[in-house]
Structure 1
Amino acid sequence: MHVTLRQLRVFEAVARHLSYTRAAEELHLTQPAVSMQIKQLEESVGLPLFEQMGKRTFLTEAGQELHQTSRAIALQLEETEEVLESLKGIRRGRLRIAVASTANYFATRLLAAFCRRYPGISFSLEVTNREGLLRALEANEKDLVIMGRPPESLDLEAEPFMDNPLVVIAAPDHPLAGADEVSWERLQQEAFVVREEGSGTRIAMERHFASRGVKLRTGMELSSNEAIKRAVEVGMGLGIVSIHTLELELETGRLVVLRAEAFPIPRHWYLVHRRGKRLSPVALAFRDFVFEEAGSLVGSGPARAPAAE
């Protein structure tokens, strides 16, 4: 089988988009040129790689196998290019990073400061939920991931770099707002607006309540921190969120943090990657930058030793 890197690059783009048109736009080629490269590749392989059903394009079984190989080759080539560039100093390179939706409140600030220090660096940022982050780690698609503590069952390197306390929030006119301390017994009587099942915040909340022999009383389940805050603001219940999501609401007085017994819940932000992954010079520089600067840029002190979670 004789296959060129150009053919694999074109194939990977078509397989990723499942669209000849979008692949052509990404690669700055004409659609006929993309179609010709795929046709030549299929002739070399001896099997069809795509099948058309109506207006939709799908990968065949052979196409799925080749897509895994082409993605691995593309990643290896990118890593090699970055290593070669590092021999000239960290002047160029690309950082592929994914962050938990909660971490996005400060991740863009970190990335902006990092790019000011290394102006030749570009980056791709994916903001997703915990499930999406674990998928990205399993597929080795990202250089680094910022998230809460990952499951110990996965073969990952996870380093805590900053505190991430979870606090109880309420509307300013809630009966508990302004109380010197809300007892644990009183808190149990309130309904909570919560994140979806499987989210890092939801897991931490349920563990915290279960450790005291109490079941979390939920009134509404929502899929984002913004939705949680808006629901709490209009009086739909109390919420539990990361302190890092509240900067604007606390400044404007739209929400308050309750002084509640057994709160905040101590948690941490982690930098995570696959165990044994060879980090590019750019990824190593970003890792060092996060440990040096995150506390001052985000307004939280450095992480202490991880609490039991």
Structure 2
Amino acid sequence: MHYTLHQLQIFLKIAETKSITKAAEELNLTQPAVSIQLKKLQDQFDIPLTEVIGRQLYVTHFGAEIAITAQKVLDEVATINYKSKTFQGILSGKLTLSVVSTGKYVMPYFLSDFLNQNKGIDLVMDVTNKSRVVKSLENNEIDFALVSILPDDIQLQSENLLENKLYFIGNHNASSGVQNNNIDMFQDFPLIFREEGSATRLVMENYLHRNGLQSIKKMQLTSNEAVKQAVIAGIGYSIMPIIGLKNELENGNLKIIPMKGFPIQSNWHLVWLKNKSMSPVAEAYLKYIRQEKSNLRNTYFSWIDNYTI
């Protein structure tokens, strides 16, 4: 057999996406190029790796086994590359993180300089919902996670990176009906919620419960971006982390509405399992964070201080 690493990489992406078109997009290749490499790999086996039923591509049981083995092969090749760089005195390896969805506005700024200083490091970062982040922590699948609310059923260690301020937000026409921060008016506003399990959703529900308020629930959306666009369109209001609203606040598409009890503040925490055995890359990153987090906060997030009510 004469399959190549390139063919294994392409097949793995096909197995992951269940689509030649999507695999081609994610690999920045043309669809014909991916199809050709899949055929070349398939020609070396008598048993089908994939099958098409209707218009849907499926990976066969045999193909799934080949994908598992291919992943192991590619992981070993990556290990060879990392070890080669290590012997040259270059810090190398994988840094794996899981980040709650709103954390995508935070985490890149606490990574960019570190990665630029250490070209031998490959970053694997999953931006997902809170429950998947917690599961990744519990299963010890990642080096670090970024959360705004610490899970209370896992033993963790943490570094506080940045304050997380949440405000009552409406679009550019929204604030005219609010007077004197009257909290009783809050329940007159149609609210847009995040999905169940979201940390932002939990903050909203806690605020309503703590103040004995009912809400006109307008809709439930599964991402901060979707909530943002719905508020801009005037569908309703929401309680949102300011971290993802910089441009919209500056251009006037969104407004902070003065309301008693706001901002609601928590913190963005970089967390990892207590007593976790860290890789050299993870240890180096944690050292970097402890040394530079204040400078990074002042460099990239000082604009948050401009918004007070």
TM-score (norm 1): 0.70
**Greater helix share, structure number:** 2
Shift of 1:236: 1.6
1:271-309 residue CA offsets vs partner (Å, 9 max, x unmatched): 1223332222222222333342331243159xxxxxxxx
Aligned residue identity for 1:225:
N
1:13-47 residue CA offsets vs partner (Å, 9 max, x unmatched): 99867899x7xx99xxx99x99xx9xxxxxxxxxx
Task: Tell me what 1:296 maps to.
Answer: 298
Task: Summarize the alignment of residues 277-292 of structure 1 with structure 2, pairs less than 5 Å apart.
Answer: 277-291=276-290, 292=292
1:218 aligned to 2:217? yes
1:220-263 residue CA offsets vs partner (Å, 9 max, x unmatched): 11111111111111222211111100011011110011222101
Q: 1:196 to 1:13 in 2, by over 3 A?
A: closer
- 3-state SS of paired residue (1:131): helix
Q: 1:158 to 1:73 in 2, by over 3 A?
A: farther
- 3-state SS of paired residue (1:160): strand
Alpha-carbon distance in structure 2 between the residues aligned to 1:207 and 1:165: 15
1:127 aligned to 2:134? no
Question: Are 2:101 and 2:127, in contact at CA under 8 Å, matched by a contact in 1?
Answer: yes
Aligned residue identity for 2:231:
V
Aligned residue identity for 2:154:
L
Shift of 1:78: 7.2
Q: How many residues were matched structurally?
A: 294
Question: Are 1:94 and 1:121, in contact at CA under 8 Å, matched by a contact in 2?
Answer: yes
Alpha-carbon distance in structure 2 between the residues aligned to 1:55 and 1:175: 53
1:92 aligned to 2:97? no
Alpha-carbon distance in structure 2 between the residues aligned to 1:102 and 1:145: 13
Alpha-carbon distance in structure 2 between the residues aligned to 1:77 and 1:277: 25
Task: Summarize the alignment of residues 21-100 of structure 1 with structure 2, pairs less than 5 Å apart.
Answer: 89-100=89-100
Task: Summarize the alignment of residues 242-281 of structure 1 with structure 2, pairs less than 5 Å apart.
Answer: 242-281=241-280
Q: 1:15 to 1:249 in 2, by over 3 A?
A: closer
Aligned residue identity for 1:100:
V
Q: 1:227 to 1:197 in 2, by over 3 A?
A: same
Alpha-carbon distance in structure 1 between the residues aligned to 2:219 and 2:176: 20
Question: Are 1:86 and 1:281, in contact at CA under 8 Å, matched by a contact in 2?
Answer: no
Alpha-carbon distance in structure 1 between the residues aligned to 2:123 and 2:82: 13
Question: Are 1:85 and 1:93, in contact at CA under 8 Å, matched by a contact in 2?
Answer: no
Shift of 1:268: 0.9
Q: 1:54 to 1:276 in 2, by over 3 A?
A: farther
Could you say what the CA RMSD is over the residues aligned between the two structures, in angstroms?
4.4
Alpha-carbon distance in structure 2 between the residues aligned to 1:128 and 1:235: 27
Q: 1:265 to 1:60 in 2, by over 3 A?
A: same
* More displaced 10-residue stretch of structure 1: 117-126 or 238-247: 117-126
Alpha-carbon distance in structure 2 between the residues aligned to 1:203 and 1:72: 40
Question: Are 2:82 and 2:120, in contact at CA under 8 Å, matched by a contact in 1?
Answer: no
- 3-state SS of paired residue (2:159): strand
1:197-223 residue CA offsets vs partner (Å, 9 max, x unmatched): 110110122122222233444221111
Question: Are 1:231 and 1:237, in contact at CA under 8 Å, matched by a contact in 2?
Answer: yes
Task: Tell me what 1:47 maps to.
Answer: none
TM-score (norm 2): 0.70
- 3-state SS of paired residue (1:268): strand
Task: Tell me what 2:104 maps to.
Answer: 104
Alpha-carbon distance in structure 2 between the residues aligned to 1:285 and 1:86: 14
Task: Tell me what 2:176 maps to.
Answer: 175
Alpha-carbon distance in structure 1 between the residues aligned to 2:103 and 2:138: 20
Identity across the alignment (%): 30
Aligned residue identity for 2:183:
W
Question: Are 2:134 and 2:151, in contact at CA under 8 Å, matched by a contact in 1?
Answer: no
Structure 1 residues not aligned, in runs of 5+: 1-5, 38-49, 302-309
Alpha-carbon distance in structure 2 between the residues aligned to 1:83 and 1:275: 27
Alpha-carbon distance in structure 2 between the residues aligned to 1:297 and 1:134: 29
Shift of 1:196: 0.6
Question: Are 1:90 and 1:281, in contact at CA under 8 Å, matched by a contact in 2?
Answer: no
